[in-house]
Chains A and B, each alone.
Chain A
C-alpha cells in the first residue's frame, strides 16, 4: 500500500514536471514578450535593456531553469495587464470557479442518481425511455449554446433569474462566496445547471448501467427472498455497490468540470479563472496564461491522485487485489 502510494505520488510529480516543460515551450513559441510590451518608438538601447530584464536572450534551457526555480517559490511572473503577481490573480479568482464547479457536481449527483435509479429499476417504463432519450441530448447539446438559451428563457423572456455575474457575495474565511446569499444563489443557479448538464447525463447513465447489472445478482435475489423492504434493498444493497465506480468517476470529472467552466464562465460572465484565461489569451498576457495552466495541472494531478488513493482505501476488493499483486 505504502509503496504503491509513493510510486503514484512520484508519477504525479513527473506529470507536473512534464507539463511545465510543455507549457514553457508552448508559451515560448507564442513569441517574444518584448515584442508585445515594447513601445513602437523605443530605440535599440531600450530594447536591449528589456531583453536583459526578461532574460529572453539567454539559451532556452537557462530560461527554463530560471522559470522552474521561480515557480518553485510560487513566483510565475507579474501579469502584463494588471502588473500584479500572476499566481495571485489566479488564486484570487479560483474560489469563484471552484464554487461553480462544486455546485455543478452537486446538481449532477442530486439529479443524476435518482433519475438513474429509476431508469435502472424500471428500464421499460415510458418515463425511463423519455429520460434516456433526453440524456442523449445532454451529451449532444453544445454547452455554450444551452447556456445562451438558459439566459434567453429564464433571464430575458421570463425574467426569473439574473443573467450574468456573481451577485451579492459574503466573505467567509477571507474568501467571497456567492452561495451564502439569496442573490448570490440566484446568480449561481443557471451557470451551475449549464455546467452540470453533461455530468447529469453521465451520472444518470452510469447509475442506470450499475443498477441493471447489480439487480440480477444473487445477493439482491437473496435480499428479496429474505423479505427486505424494496427501499432497503435499493437504498443499501444496490446503492452501496454502485457507489464506488460512481464516486471515482465523479472525482475524476472534477478536473474536467473546472476546465469546461471556461465556457460557462464566458457565457454567464462569471468572474472565475475560466473567464480570466480567455481574456488573457486575447491580450497575450503570458504570465497569467502560464499561471492558469500550472494551477489547473496541479489541481488535476492532485484530484486524480486523491481519487486513486481513496478508491483503493474504500473498496475492499481493490485493496485485496493490490495486496495479492
Chain B
C-alpha cells in the first residue's frame, strides 16, 4: 500500500482541541478567575525556591529567636514575615509555598495514576466478558460504598506514613470513580458507527480501544480527574492533619495546619490560618475550572 494521500497541513496549536476547550472554559468569568488563580498557584509552587524569602527547611537560615512572630514582623535576617513565623522561626509564607509543592504534587500525581489505572480497568470491564465485568463492577460498587477517608485510613494504617504511601492510598481510593466513568462511556461509544467501521476494517482490537475508543471516552475522564485533584489535595491534607499522611520532613499544607493546632488556643492563629487559606483557594480554584469544564465537555448539560 502506497500512501497517495497528501500529508495534512500541519495544524496550528491554537486550533488544537485542547486550546479550543481552554478558550471555551475561559469564556465563563468564574472559571477564568479560577484558571488565573490556579496558574499563579502552580507557578508559585514551581518557583518556590526563587520567590520564597527563606528556604524553610535549611536549618542554618532559621533563627529560633524569631519564633511565633505575628504577621508583618521583621526577621533578624532582614526580610519581613508577611504571614508570621512558626515556633522555629520559619517564615510561614515560605513554608506555604514549599508545602504547596507537596500538596499539588501528591494531588495531581495520584489523580493521574488513578486515572490511568481506573480507565484501563474500566475499558477492560467494558470489553472483556460478562464475568470479568461483573467482578470488576462489584468491586467498584463495594469500594464506593465506603467513605474515602475510611479506605485511606485503613491503607495508611497498614502501609505507614510517607509521601509514596499517601499516593498509593489516594490512588486506591480514587481508581473506582474513573473505572465507573470509563466503562459507562466506553459502553456508549462502543455501539457507534466509527467503532463498527474500524472493526470492519479488521483493525486489531487493542488498536480500536486505544486509538479510537479511548480518545472519545476522554472528555468525561478529564472532568472527573480535575475534580479528583481537588478531592485528593483535601484528603491528603486531612490525612496529614490526622498524623497519618506525609512525614514531618516533607510537610504539606495539611501538616502545616496541624503544626499550628496547639498554638491556636493561645491566640497565635497565623500558623494554622494561612496554610488553610492557601489550601482553600487552591481547592476552590480547581473546582471552579472543573465545574466549567464539565459544562464545556458535556454538551448535554449545556443544552
Contact = CB atoms under 8 A, between A and B. Distances in A.
Contacts of B260: 148
A163 B265 contact: yes
B50 interface: no
A145 B158 contact: no
Contacts of B113: none
B264 A148 contact: yes
A103 B243 CA distance: 26
A136 B287 contact: yes
Nearest to B233: A142
B153 A142 contact: no
A278 B150 CA distance: 11
Interface in A183-230: none
Given A136-B287, A144-B257, A163-B265, A281 B150 contact: no
A149 interface: yes
A44 interface: no
Interface string B239-262: 001111000000000100100110
A140 B261 CA distance: 21
B267 A262 contact: no
A252 B283 CA distance: 26
A278 B242 contact: yes
B279 A145 contact: yes
A263 interface: yes
A23 B158 CA distance: 10
Most buried by B among A27, A144, A278: A144
B234 interface: yes
Contacts of B265: 151, 156, 163
A142 B261 contact: no
B150 A142 contact: no
B203 interface: no
B127 interface: no
B142 interface: yes
Interface residues of A, number: 40
Contacts of A259: 146-147, 149-150
B158 A26 contact: yes
A304 B145 contact: yes
Given A30-B158, A263-B241, A142 B147 contact: no
Main secondary structure, interface of B, reads helix
Nearest to A252: B145
B243 A142 contact: no
B73 interface: no
Contacts of A263: 149, 238, 241-242
A142 B264 contact: no
Contact of A281 (B234, B244, B276, B280): B244
B272 interface: yes
Given A140-B230, A304-B145, A293 B154 contact: yes
A15 interface: yes
Given A144-B238, A156-B264, A263-B238, A281 B145 contact: no
A142 B237 contact: yes
Given A148-B264, A293-B154, A296-B150, A262 B242 contact: yes
A140 B284 contact: yes
A142 B276 CA distance: 8
B280 A140 contact: yes
Contact of B272 (A145, A163, A266, A293): A145
A255 B158 CA distance: 22
A177 interface: no
Given A142-B234, A152-B264, A300 B145 contact: yes
B283 A140 contact: yes
Interface string A17-44: 0100001001101100000000000000
Nearest to A301: B145
Most buried by B among A29, A259, A267: A259
Interface string B145-187: 1110110011111100000000000000000000000000000
B242 A266 contact: yes
Contact of B284 (A15, A29, A136, A151): A136
A143 B241 CA distance: 11
Contacts of A282: 243
B12 to A, nearest CB: 36
Most buried by B among A18, A145, A262, A282: A145
A177 B82 CA distance: 45
Contacts of B241: 144, 263, 266
Contact of A156 (B149, B234, B267, B279): B267
A151 B265 CA distance: 8
Given A18-B142, A256-B147, 11 more contacts: A26-B158, A29-B158, A30-B157, A139-B287, A140-B280, A142-B234, A145-B276, A148-B260, A255-B147, A259-B150, A263-B242
Interface of A: 15, 18, 23, 26-27, 29-30, 136-137, 139-145, 148-149, 151-152, 156-157, 163, 255-256, 259-260, 262-263, 266-267, 277-278, 281-282, 289, 293, 296, 300, 304
29 contacts: A26-B155, A29-B158, A30-B158, A140-B283, A141-B280, A142-B280, A144-B238, A144-B254, A145-B237, A145-B272, A148-B260, A148-B261, A151-B265, A152-B269, A156-B264, A156-B265, A157-B267, A163-B265, A259-B147, A259-B150, A260-B149, A262-B149, A278-B244, A281-B153, A281-B157, A281-B244, A300-B145, A300-B146, A304-B145
In the A-B complex, list the 5 residue pairs whose CB atoms are closest, starting with the nearest: A145-B276, A256-B147, A259-B147, A259-B150, A140-B283
